[in-house]
Amino acid sequence: VSIASRAKARPSRSISRCWRTQRRWTRLRSRAALQANGETILVVEDDPAILRLAGKLLNDLGYRPLLAAEVEKALELATEADMLQLLLTDVIMPRMNGAELANTVQAIHPDIKVVYMSGYTADVIANKGVLNCDVTYIQKPFSRNSLAVTLKKALAQAEAP
């Protein structure tokens, strides 16, 4: 290998190192932007595995999750909680669907934001008439990043007049 080819290789290595570092910083900054400020989120999910996963992801993101596997427990937690910023609820559950639960919890906490989750696509849920098209929705299974982005957007929504 000639000296000239080595000289050409070094700048490209340093440039690629620079790009890698820049991408890493961009990822770190976006992760930091998605971190929570300790908001309390009531999670209602009848599948225990998804409930545990949601709780772990929310903890990792800096939220304070209250977990309920059934509607009765969710209503108990909502009644006992001083402040709830968001309800993350499954759409289809035994005894009460997510929209009915949201209406009941909103009577207790009028300023609460709601995010619905389901294994069905949003179109299927809307076509079945369970939810309106204008709700905040996340499809299961979800990633840490998609959950973080969805929650940040929901919490940032302005109050309706």
Cα(121)–Cα(117) distance, integer angstroms: 9
Q: What is the mean pLDDT of residues 26-48?
A: 80
Cα(75)–Cα(104) distance, integer angstroms: 8
pLDDT of residue 16: 46
Rg (C-alpha) for the chain, rounded Å, is 21
Q: What is the mean pLDDT of residues 45-49?
A: 96
pTM over 0.85: no
CA 65 vs CA 12, 54, 73: distances in Å:
47, 8, 14
Cα(101)–Cα(46) distance, integer angstroms: 13
Q: Among 19-28, 55-64, 142-151, name the one with the lowest average pLDDT.
A: 19-28
Which positions ≥6 away from 31 have C-beta within 8 Å? none
pLDDT-derived band at 58 (thresholds 50, 70, 90) equals very high
Asked if residue 14 has pLDDT above 60, the reply is no
Report residue 152 as tokens.
């940040």
At 125, which amino acid appears? I
Q: Identify how many contiguous H helices and E strands the chain contains and give both numbers.
A: 6, 5
Asked if residue 15 has pLDDT above 70, the reply is no
Asked if residue 19 has pLDDT above 80, the reply is no
pLDDT of residue 131: 72
pLDDT of residue 22: 46
pLDDT of residue 42: 98
Helices (H), 46-130: 48-61, 71-80, 98-108, 122-127
Asked if residue 44 has pLDDT above 70, the reply is yes
